[in-house]
Amino acid sequence: MKTHVVSKADSLRSLPNIGPVIEKKLKRIGIFSKEDFLCRDPYEIFDALRREIDPTLCRCALASLVGAKLGQPWHRITKATAREYEKRHPDHVWGKC
């Protein structure tokens, strides 16, 4: 198994809203560093996580990812990010948060 050594400044946990649970899930889809994360679309990351790791992810998880990219707290952008995801995935039905 390949290990990825990342400095504390470039760690996923250095991003807002990213804690140990989301960090672990991101690593499972090949996102190991802040740089890996910031060069990707957070809506596509969320979609990959839902398809490949955890189909139960909710609006709050999406807002956490978008907020990490934008430097905003997840709870301030949950409704807006959910609307944007619904535009991109009109057949999606949200589960409970």
Asked if residue 3 is part of any domain, the answer here is: no
The structure's pTM equals: 0.89
Total of domains in the chain: 1
CATH code (residue 54): 1.10.150.20
Length of the chain: 97
Task: Please give the angle made by the CA atoms of 38, 42 and 46, to the nearest 5 degrees.
Answer: 135
Asked if residue 19 is part of any domain, the answer here is: yes
State the pLDDT confidence band at 6, using cuts at 50, 70 and 90. confident
What torsion do the CA atoms of 79, 80, 81, 84 make, to the nearest 10 degrees? 120
Asked if residue 36 is part of any domain, the answer here is: yes
Asked if residue 47 is part of any domain, the answer here is: yes
Asked if residue 97 is part of any domain, the answer here is: no
State the pLDDT confidence band at 2, using cuts at 50, 70 and 90. low
DSSP-derived secondary structure for 49-76: HHHHT-TT--HHHHHHHHHHHHT--GGG
pLDDT tens digits, residue range 36-69? 999 999 999 999 999 999 999 999 999 999 999 9
Asked if residue 95 is part of any domain, the answer here is: no
**Helices and strands: H and E segment counts in the chain:** 5, 0
Whole domain around residue 50: which residue ranges?
8-88
Neighbours of 92 (CB within 10 A): 11
Asked if residue 96 is part of any domain, the answer here is: no
